Amino acid sequence: MKPILQAWLSRQCESGGRSARGTLWVRKAPEAPLELVAIHPPGLGLGLPDPEGHRPAAAAALAATRAVVKGGEEKDLLAAPGVYGGLHVAAVVEHPCATPREQAATLDVLRIGLGWLGWASSLEGPRDKASKGRSARSPNVARTLDLLAVALESRPVSATSLVIATELAHQLGCERVSLGRFQGNELVLDAVSNTAQLDVRSRLAGDIVAAMQEAIDQDAVIVYPAPEDGAQLAVAAHRRLADEQALARVWTLPLRDDETLAGALLVEFIPGQRPPKGTLAWLEQLVSLLAPVLGLRHRDQASFGERVRLLLREDLPDALGLERLNVRLTLGLGVFLLLALALLPATHRIAAPAQLEGIVQRAIVSPMQAYVAESRYRAGDVVKKGEVLGVLEDADLRLEARKWEAKREQRRKELRAAMAERDRSQVRILQAQVEQADAELALIIEQRRRTRLVAPFDGVITRGDLSQSLGSPVERGEVLFEVAPQDDYRITLEVDGQDIGFVEPGQVGGLTLQALPGEARPFIVRRVTPISSAEEGRSFFRVEAALEGDGSGLRPGMDGVAKIDVGRRSLLWIWTHSALDWLRMAWWAWVP
């Protein structure tokens, strides 16, 4: 067991502040069995039986050439493949059942560690002829060095990304390699191999970005088509890209700069292009080294505004150690706000729906059963005292008047004849009949006068429109019009039952009408009715208030919202007392 392998495994298992059980396996030939070369904790020794489940997990990671997770009831096995000294190795770390985020973080540490382990083996140098031969047969180190050298060359970072994508596509022998990166919170396509002018609005660019975003959202390497023993991942965007471009396989690898997902690398293969075995593992090692370099180049060539944003968002908090103070600052700010709200006084206002009414509402009713003959005004019209609003049909009354006039003339003739004959008893009878006819005629004249519906005072008609009822019958006592004074109003408020206890006569407030939303007209509360009303599922009390100031421009029936000033309270009490009152009532109803 090489000391470097044991030391590396112990460091991996103890990362994150906790010690986990782990093993390191090596396969010296393609068909050779796995060999255990390191175990943690070291005291377990290599001569004892293999830890349960570690060998199958390592075999699965080597077969899939990517990280795998083997879940269990009490523990999870996380395995990742790598290369050391030209040999394929696999590291397995055992953790109690972890969350997906913890699993992803552990696998990320394993992948990065295995990448550096392979890098260290290339610098260690061949120890014997066999190792020298294996090192000569592995071109990954040379290819990695070449690409890193390209990334560090002095050129614009956009050109660097294009050169890296083109060179990588040439080395892999694939159809296309694309690099994407984040600009703020948006993923943009940075470079596509062999493409100098990139149309980011094209359908291909949109499909590539969607596939990259799919891998970044899951923080996992996506291989499409997925291997049979691979983890179940969402691949809808990869499937669409492969179908649209007739691709045989698509690989997407997230680029992680430190602990931040900085972008993604996407590789496309068409039918007939078969990457060599181990290419995906090498790409994972490559992006772990390439992402920090590209991130450094982007920050180095960022604009002034972008540098200021990074300074304020990342560098300054790191330098001042503000991340440790986040919780305390948040708590302190919350306590300060609560104290300010509890101590800062404000006017407590009760809002309620309100309607404008005339102080006097005069009803004009039908004096008899009749038909509508004429309509001159309707609701909303302003009228003067004595103006005729409408006329009822009086043809029957005119006929009745002629009948009684004829009877009166007949009785008068008979009365004169009886007086000539000096028949006193007949005279008294006929005089009574003449008086009866006069009374009937006076009644008919009064009824005919009442068929003309007249405005009782200057005002506005609030109700009534006979223009749609010409010729229709009306009953005696039926309300035909309502008239209210034009400049003398009162306000009727519907105050909620839970707030009526704060309202008293003499309090002031303001009324804002829907027709005049920019004006608040003052009023004074005059009367609080002691009886509640229920309407539309709520209970309220009617409160009457007198409008102050000029009432010009107003009309009875206008509605809006009125607010009554009922005293001064703290802002905290004003904003929370309704909820607290509801909780008290709910508690009272629930407690036995």
Copy the structure tokens of residue 547: 């409008």
**CA distances to 107, 206, 207, 392 from 203, in Å:** 34, 5, 6, 77
Give residue-wise pLDDT tens across range 305-315: 776 766 666 55
For the cut 80, the answer to whether the pLDDT of residue 554 exceeds it is no
Element (H, E) at 419: helix 395-420
Phi, psi for 293 (deg, rounded to 5): -65, -45
* Top-confidence residue, 271 or 309: 271
pLDDT band at 268 (very low <50, low <70, confident <90, very high): very high
For the cut 90, the answer to whether the pLDDT of residue 297 exceeds it is no
Residue 182's pLDDT is what? Answer: 86
**CA distances to 405, 456, 497, 551, 587 from 575, in Å:** 78, 49, 18, 34, 20
Residue 119's pLDDT is what? Answer: 64
Quick check: 433 and 404 in contact, CB under 8 A? no
Q: Which of 183-187, 235-239, 337-341 has the lowest mean pLDDT?
A: 183-187
Average pLDDT over residues 456-478: 82
Residue 16's pLDDT is what? Answer: 45
Can you give 105-165 as a three-state secondary structure string? HHHHHHHHHHHHHHHHHHHHCCCCHHHHHHHHHCCHHHHHHHHHHHHHCCCCHHHHHHHHH
Cα angle, residue 293 at apex, residues 292 and 297 outer, rounded to 5° = 115
pLDDT band at 423 (very low <50, low <70, confident <90, very high): confident
Residue 326's pLDDT is what? Answer: 59
Helices 571-590 and 326-343, packing angle to 10 deg = 90
CA–CA gap between residue 65 and residue 498 (Å, rounded): 69
For the cut 90, the answer to whether the pLDDT of residue 485 exceeds it is no
For the cut 70, the answer to whether the pLDDT of residue 580 exceeds it is yes
For the cut 80, the answer to whether the pLDDT of residue 486 exceeds it is no
Average pLDDT over residues 101-113: 71
- The residue whose two tokens read 């075999």 is 59
For the cut 70, the answer to whether the pLDDT of residue 500 exceeds it is yes
For the cut 70, the answer to whether the pLDDT of residue 565 exceeds it is yes
- Of 443, 441, 452, nearest in space to 391 by CA: 452
CA–CA gap between residue 112 and residue 311 (Å, rounded): 27
For the cut 70, the answer to whether the pLDDT of residue 215 exceeds it is yes
Domains of the chain plus CATH, in order, are 3-135 (3.30.450.40), 139-306 (3.30.450.40), 362-482 (2.40.50.100), 485-569 (2.40.30.170)
pLDDT band at 178 (very low <50, low <70, confident <90, very high): very high
Residue 314's pLDDT is what? Answer: 59
Residue 462's pLDDT is what? Answer: 77
pLDDT band at 298 (very low <50, low <70, confident <90, very high): confident
For the cut 50, the answer to whether the pLDDT of residue 293 exceeds it is yes
CA–CA gap between residue 529 and residue 544 (Å, rounded): 8
Average pLDDT over residues 255-260: 80
Residue 130's pLDDT is what? Answer: 40
CA–CA gap between residue 13 and residue 21 (Å, rounded): 7
CA–CA gap between residue 365 and residue 128 (Å, rounded): 121
For the cut 80, the answer to whether the pLDDT of residue 470 exceeds it is yes
Residue 136's pLDDT is what? Answer: 37
The pLDDT mean for the chain works out to: 80
Give residue-wise pLDDT tens across range 380-421: 788 888 888 888 888 888 888 888 888 888 888 888 888 888
Q: Which of 72-81, 108-117, 274-283 has the lowest mean pLDDT?
A: 108-117
Q: Which of 2-6, 263-267, 289-293, 431-435 has the lowest mean pLDDT?
A: 2-6
CA–CA gap between residue 87 and residue 35 (Å, rounded): 11
Copy the structure tokens of residue 429: 């009878």
Give residue-wise pLDDT tens across range 336-350: 888 888 888 889 999
